[in-house]
Chains A and B, each alone.
Chain A
């Protein structure tokens, strides 16, 4: 499957052409269709050397749109039970809705899981069973309290539009190991994050690194299905195109730009076949389907389960960076529980808990978890005091997220918030640190992964970021 991964020396198309006495003309149409790994085009997505040995070859980013409440999920705070209904006594920062209620307890009890004894709430009973594989961070902070800026920040390291997404940075730095799929895929579950598609854009990096939006379904990717009635009809067109293009090359002269544009059609053609194959899960066993929650009676669980399963299949194909957005659940606006958190978080957790646990377990049993980094996070956490009577407002001052596999230290619990779960007080870290750590696990030094733009060597982490070595295995 990773056909490039084990090649010692890579013969690029250009070298091949140079070495070939007959030049480009010798590359017949068959080659366009051929499954010959060695013929892969040199280009923006060619695999590149890492700065040091990588632990994670692929990254699956589980984006919990809207912000999960830390005190209801991974950061138990008994004090909230004690002071439930009383005014919040710590100094408060302004909140988005400015509708401050009293201290609000969690609706979900916590239980210790695994050998590490990690506390996980009743929201995530399945994920809890993977506790020994999770590296939990309880002291994450973000600089923004609104979704849009916080999303941009989480995805791109800047609170504004137009910067390259972390997936774009990863593919820019590592290239793709997959010759018939894009290196950076967003598996859209139905919710487009606040801030829109720009969370997945390549910003000032070349468009080749842009996230490709896949939908879990029959037409997973824009323009991926040929419109010709049969493959033969398209193939003959492509044959003619090739012939005319070569004629053009003879006439205009052989220029890199033209040649790579011609080569581009090869990748496109392969994708036409590979993508539908990828999303066709007929071959998956009933056991596997059950593991991912595809047999669940709850629609959103089935839908997220399918995304998780396809994510695994993409990892198998060598896709570098896969982001999963959440499914749409009617009656809930993402994880954004400004009111009735009980229903909101209950429904959302029900949708993702079993599929995520299934993904972790499946990767593990296939021996792929060590080389696949899973990151679970929202753009911020939520207030330990109520918004109104039964919701929680945005709060970026101390929230929880976890990493799993791909070199993350299983069972680690890093950092702590205060007694209320409001502010990080121990090992306080910021999202730049998460980015730095993700890149580190993927074999890249976040300070060396740069792109010259606007008179500066730009980085995902700007001028910040420290690798969280304590959660690295």
Chain B
């Protein structure tokens, strides 16, 4: 650039500032230093390095970015503002010049020097002081200049289909159908004569190949040739349309459109599961003549149609199978740029969709508005959203109606029976609950504490009877060697015993006495110790016991009148534990303690310490061991109250335990049992309420403290850990307690009609008729029937944290569909699949690391369930997620409301609460809050059935048994599954524009999913109404008869296949760049006729075939060849080469090897040595493909059959409505030398020769009829016979047969074999 003298520069700009009111002067006056810096450093740099592409001097500045004005810099270009004044790290310009972002590196050729970068960084840091004036020149970009409506009006294919009136023609006798008038009228104008009718032999040949792709049988040919009746041809056409081979032949054309293949190509060529079923669906579809509008609806939204089409024989859901076509494209297995791969996949899907159904190249609008057609870039991304809103599944298609019926029946059965079962269950429970207070008060009596009757009044303090702190066993009578001479202390115990937990120093330990200087290893020593006699004056004898738990052999017994009446044993641990014996039954008696070690086996020892007489038990009754005293008291109380002692024992144990657990519903009761008076009782209640409230507050605090860890930038390696608070809206993926309408996405019936709701009854089996009630709503794979197929998926969401958590019961596989990628094999994406293993009855949180996918949009699919599976919640979390609150609000409310605090009152109130909860969950009950709490309380009670009196026999068992029986009978009728590829509608997703098609550079605003602008009315706003993707709505609008494209494109395709060239030559492009129609009125007449006749493809074909035009001869005529050399006016029929598949099929048919069976899994492709390589599959298919038609040869993208390829079978990557017709030496080499051809010639010649006694002439006639459907002409007979004679001479033996074989091979190479006239 020209360097201005510094002074001049400065002056110049001061003038500017002075002369013009500098627009920014008010807020930002540039200091002289700033100005100097800009002019000396910044401007020269910008000018030298940037202006070339980013200035008004350029006609189309790159990326619409102008760096030559201040406004241009601030306004920015396609990617947004070029800089943020003051913040270099947020400025795109700086990012670009630092070459930080590989997709944004400026200047593109060479990075600026470090010093130059520093200048611009400094400039931005200073706030980008910039004196430059001038407005950003806004170029009239393509997009702005472009008007969809204008373009639409200007191009023929958007105009409505009109019911064109057939034009008048000179020779009224010629036309057989209105169709012919359109053809003849054009010929008239060109002063051309149509060719005469083709010979009947030619006609049947032409028609047979056109409709079935197979040769006609010799009989059919002769019969037709002989049948001169007027309806003969129509009858022939009808028969051929009825042939099942019609569907095979026409399906292949369709498969070309949807780039059908059975593998995904690329590195490993992974299979597309069940793809062949789509092929069979297409064959069936053409054979059953599915109306074409319905065909489109099935392809776009067959999974969403209200009543799917059912195949009458297979009883499969046909409609949903159409959607499989979306997934027949390529896919890679381990993309580094997973979103980039998605954009390629979706690009292909959009392109195939728009070309196949609309004859439009919507794919051209990926980067910018279509250059020529009425398609905006928004239209492309509006379609993108539809695909992102839908996912892949292997849907169960077998007997959908039957399954639906059964599912509905099962659901209905469950509803009605659950009501009955619940009523019966509630009746029984009510009785049980009503009896509970009796037991609770009895338990309180059993546990009632206080001074022992007969003890000295006024003194109830503990009496330490023995603590073994003296050196010997003074007062004790010791027998045997086990106990040695006196108590042991921890220091002289062998180390292996560890800390035995003694009080003080000394204790009894029968495991550690030395015999001859060695610590006696075993438990061999035995012995006993008897205490001095004492009087029982306290309720309990508390002591520490360790060692073996052998009753009667390692134990401490209470001995009264010489007989042991109570006993405790150790815990099979050296460490001693507290035990208590209830001695109250023997109050005042003279008693003695006996320590016994008479066991020699394992744990044949005992430890004892700290024997205390007390009115309080040191251990609860549950731990009290074999306490004859407690048992006695329970028996007494039970007897007195006439209640069941076993039940009472368990109630006592539970009440005792409940003391320690504030969340136990009986906690408050157990505490109240110990209250001395009513004041103390109030305190107890208030304290419990207080504790529970605090627990709730703590729980809320834990919830509030939840965090999510993620990094700053998406998908980058350089990971910056960022912790932020958990947010319900962002971080909760789905909560099946309340998933909302959009959160419930399933396929199949296994998950029932919706999540299990709180309070629902879980019906059990005979042993346990009721399993309980649902506490928290969940998606449950067990409630409908395990015989159903089921897939559960979440809505689509963005990965915002490092770790996903699933609240799951049982086992399953969780699959992350990241940017719809699903070809999952290592190395990069193995982690998207996670096997979750858990117990069928336990809820657990399982984590799934997803850090690699931060910022990507994903959904999760749950499948491959174990016998039992349910999921309640999916969320992001940094630590372990927080479970539900430990506080049951129903219980809390109950406690807080307790008025009667006496034992009897509290017991009655508890029973009432249980009954109230029961009623609250009655299916008939309405508007009851706290369903979950009631369910939880009742489940607690149901889980403690043994605390209740046995239920009186009622009808519950029978009801449940009947229910299970009806249910299993219904289940038995559930048909098996047959799964095939299909779409599953997901949550509605929209995609922003990718600026210039770059998926890494996205616009800010989403483009709403919508049908093409040009197919909307001008006033209509884009967008979809429906929930989910809205594909059905889209499909229904596409087939609206007002859309002119669908019918025109399809009739043109049919015409193309029948005549070898479409009325519009570019079958897949009806746009401006496509060819204009040669007969536009005819095209409309056909389209109109097609729609009027129920979109019947067979009817359309019939109409065309019965025309005079189709029946013309194909011989070139002199005048026609001169005036219409390309035969665009159809002055004659065209000559066509058979398509690749038909050539191979014909070879098989002629040889006699053809297997005419329909359908089934493809035959593996024959891998020739030239296809074999380091990546080819193991093995190879048979050379002759088992004689099956070509359509049944497996289509592996990386190993396409070479013979078919050579004859222009398209590579399956894009819609191919019109195959290239090539002529290459490879074709000749195949027919001359390929082993398949020679194999078939052998079969053919053997078959011919197997007929005995035929002369050369007769054989030749037969061979000609089979190969060419005619007899040989005289010259041909002569040539052939001459050949046989001459060729035979070249062979030593079997010369005639060899010569014949050569002749037949030659016939296959004669062009008439593969060309149809």
Contacts and interface: CB of A to CB of B under 8 A. Distances in A.
Contacts of B1315: 252, 257-258, 261
Given A92-B718, A93-B102, A95-B336, A207 B1175 contact: no
B1303 interface: yes
A54 interface: no
Interface string A253-292: 1110110111011011101100000000000000000000
B1232 A261 contact: no
B495 to A, nearest CB: 46
A425 B1174 contact: no
Contact of A146 (B332, B1074, B1115, B1286): B332
A234 B1176 CA distance: 33
Contact of B330 (A161, A203, A228, A243): A161
Contacts of B1206: 207
Contacts of A95: 336
Nearest to B100: A91
A245 B828 contact: no
Interface string B1171-1198: 1011110000000000000000000011
A189 B464 CA distance: 96
A5 interface: no
Interface in B849-863: 852
A46 B1305 CA distance: 30
B1290 A161 contact: no
B1223 A261 contact: yes
A29 interface: no
A114 interface: no
B1262 interface: no
A234 B1197 CA distance: 35
B1233 A196 contact: no
A240 B1303 contact: yes
Contacts of A245: 1310-1312
A43 B1223 contact: yes
Interface string B319-344: 00000000000101011110001001
Interface stretch (B263-271, B595-603, B680-688): B263-271
A254 to B, nearest CB: 7
A268 B1225 contact: yes
Contact of B267 (A44, A195, A221, A328): A195
Interface stretch (A55-63, A208-216, A313-321, A354-362): A208-216
A268 B1229 contact: yes
Nearest to A91: B718
B165 interface: no
B1225 A192 contact: no
Interface string B1223-1239: 11111111011110010
Most A CB within 10 A of own CB, among B351, B1071, B1317: B1317
Contacts of B1223: 43-44, 208, 257, 260-261, 264
A215 B1171 CA distance: 11
A182 interface: yes
Query: Is chain B's interface secondary structure helix, strand, loop, or mixed overall?
Result: loop
B123 to A, nearest CB: 22
A160 B336 contact: no
A239 B152 CA distance: 58
Contacts of B265: 148, 161, 195-196, 198
B1233 A255 contact: no
A197 interface: yes
Contact of B1116 (A98, A219, A254, A425): A254
Interface residues of A, number: 94
Given A223-B1233, A253-B1116, A240 B1225 contact: no
B108 interface: yes
B40 interface: no
Contacts of A428: 105, 108-110
Nearest to B1233: A223
Given A247-B1273, A260-B1223, A455-B361, A226 B1198 contact: no
Interface stretch (B779-787, B953-961, B1022-1030, B1275-1283): B1275-1283
B59 interface: no
A208 B360 CA distance: 27
A225 interface: yes
B1173 A192 contact: yes
Contacts of B1312: 244-245, 248, 252
B1114 A253 contact: yes
Interface string A170-192: 00000000000010000010111
A206 interface: yes
Most B CB within 10 A of own CB, among A191, A221, A240, A452: A240
A161 B1229 contact: no
Nearest to A268: B1228
Contacts of A198: 265, 1197-1198, 1211
A159 interface: yes
A236 B1202 contact: no
Given A206-B1222, A222-B1170, A454-B361, A145 B1232 contact: no
A454 B1228 contact: no
B62 to A, nearest CB: 14
A139 B46 CA distance: 25
B344 A255 contact: no
B110 A425 contact: yes
A196 B1232 contact: no
Interface string A419-463: 000010111100000000000000000000000101110000000
Nearest to B1230: A223
A244 B1279 contact: yes
A48 interface: no
B121 interface: no
B344 A147 contact: no
Contacts of B1116: 253-255
A40 B1115 CA distance: 27
B1227 to A, nearest CB: 7
Given A91-B718, A148-B267, A268-B1225, A455 B364 contact: yes
A173 B1135 CA distance: 28
B1222 A208 contact: yes
A252 B1135 contact: yes
Interface string A55-96: 000000000000000000000000000000000000111111
A39 interface: no
A226 B1225 CA distance: 14
Contacts of B336: 93-96, 144-146
B1305 A237 contact: yes
B1273 A427 contact: no
Contact of A454 (B1068, B1205, B1302): B1068
7 contacts: A96-B828, A205-B1220, A208-B1224, A222-B1234, A227-B1233, A232-B1290, A262-B1311
Q: Which 6 A-B pairs have the closest CB atoms?
A: A162-B1213, A196-B1198, A192-B1173, A268-B1228, A455-B361, A148-B266
Interface of B: 99-100, 102, 105, 108-111, 265-267, 269, 330, 332, 334-337, 341, 344, 348, 351, 355, 360-361, 363-364, 371-373, 715-718, 827-828, 852, 1066, 1068-1069, 1071, 1073-1074, 1114-1116, 1135, 1137, 1168-1171, 1173-1176, 1197-1200, 1202, 1205-1206, 1208, 1211-1214, 1220-1230, 1232-1235, 1238, 1273, 1275-1276, 1279-1280, 1283, 1286-1287, 1290, 1302-1303, 1305-1307, 1309-1312, 1315, 1317
Given A243-B1279, A455-B360, 19 more contacts: A93-B102, A93-B717, A144-B336, A161-B265, A206-B1220, A215-B1170, A222-B1229, A224-B1233, A227-B1233, A233-B1290, A233-B1302, A236-B1290, A241-B1306, A248-B1311, A253-B1114, A255-B1135, A257-B1135, A257-B1137, A257-B1221
Interface of A: 43-44, 91-100, 144-149, 159-163, 182, 188, 190-192, 194-198, 201, 203-208, 210, 212-213, 215, 219, 221-228, 230, 232-234, 236-237, 240-241, 243-245, 247-248, 251-255, 257-258, 260-262, 264-265, 267-269, 271-272, 328, 397, 423, 425-428, 452, 454-456
